[in-house]
Amino acid sequence: MRKILCLIMVFLYALLWIATRDPVGAFLSLLVLVLGAALLMAVLVYLIANAPAWSRALGGVSREEHLKQLQARGEALLLDYEVIAALTVEDLGTSCLIHFLDIGESRILCLYGQEYYEFEPIEDDPEFNQPRRFPTRTFSLLLHRKKNKVLNVYPGDAVLEPAVCDPIKTPDNLNALGFKLKDGEVVTGTNLAAIEKVLNAST
C-alpha cells in the first residue's frame, strides 16, 4: 500500500512539474493537494461515524431512549461493578483519561476515553465548578454485545478518590501487563501497584 501511495505521489508531482515547469511550485501544489485530501478524509470519517446519532436525532429519538431500546432488544448488556481502589492517569498522546479500577480477584477494569473527563472535578471555573463524580464504589457499565463497546457509564453515589499518576506521553509500557488500553477491557493477574510502577517509569 505504501509503495502504491509513493508511486501515486511521484506521478502527481511529475504531472504538476510538467504543468507548472517549476519544481518548487509543483512540490507546494502537491503539498496543498495532500493536505486537502487528508482534511476531506477526516471530515468524511467524522460524518460517517456520527451518522447514526444524527439520524436518531432527526427521528426524535434521544440517546437515552436509544440505549434503552438496545437493552430491550438484548443488543446491550448492563454490567454492575464494585470497585476496591482506583488509579487515574492522563494519556497526553491521545488526550484521553484512563481509569484503572480494581474490581477484585486480581482483575483490573480499564476505562479509556475523552468522555471520562466530564466526571472530573472542576475547581477553577465558578460557572461550571463540580465535584468529582467518578470513579464510584459501585457503578454500571453498558456494553454493546456484538461490538463489545462501552456505550455508557452510570456512576454510583459513593465517590472514590483515585490515586493519580503524572500524565504520560505513551502507554506502550502497559502492554507488558496485558493492557491493550481498550475502553472496557478487563485484565487479570495484575494489580494497581504494578500499573503505578509502570506508569511512573513512563513519565
Q: How many CB atoms lie within 10 A of CB 63?
A: 12
Q: Are 56 and 122 in contact (CB under 8 A)?
A: no
Summarize pLDDT for 34-81 with one digit per residue, the tens. Answer: 788 777 777 666 555 554 554 555 456 788 888 989 999 999 999 999
Query: Residue 144 above 90 pLDDT?
Result: yes
Burial 16-52 (b: 16+ CB within 10 A, else e): bbeeeeeeeebeebbeeeeeeeeeeeeeeeeeeeeee
Query: Residue 190 above 80 pLDDT?
Result: yes
Residue 114: which pLDDT band, with cuts at 50, 70 and 90?
A: very high
Q: Are 72 and 65 in contact (CB under 8 A)?
A: no
Higher pLDDT, 8 or 156: 156
Identify the three-state secondary structure at position 76.
strand
Residue 54 confidence (pLDDT): 46
What is the layout of strands, in order, in the sheet containing 85-91? 163-164, 85-91, 96-102, 107-113, 185-188
Residue 176 confidence (pLDDT): 86
C-alpha cell, 48: 460517517
Query: Residue 188 above 90 pLDDT?
Result: yes
Query: Residue 162 above 70 pLDDT?
Result: yes
Question: What would the mean pLDDT of 90-110 be, rounded to a whole number?
Answer: 95
Residue 127 confidence (pLDDT): 78
Contacts of 146 (CB under 8 A, 6+ apart): 75
Q: What is the largest CA-CA distance in the chain?
A: 70
d(CA 62, CA 86): 32
Q: Are 138 and 83 in contact (CB under 8 A)?
A: yes
Identify the three-state secondary structure at position 166.
coil
107 conformational bin, left if phi > 0, alpha if psi -120 to 50, beta if neither: beta
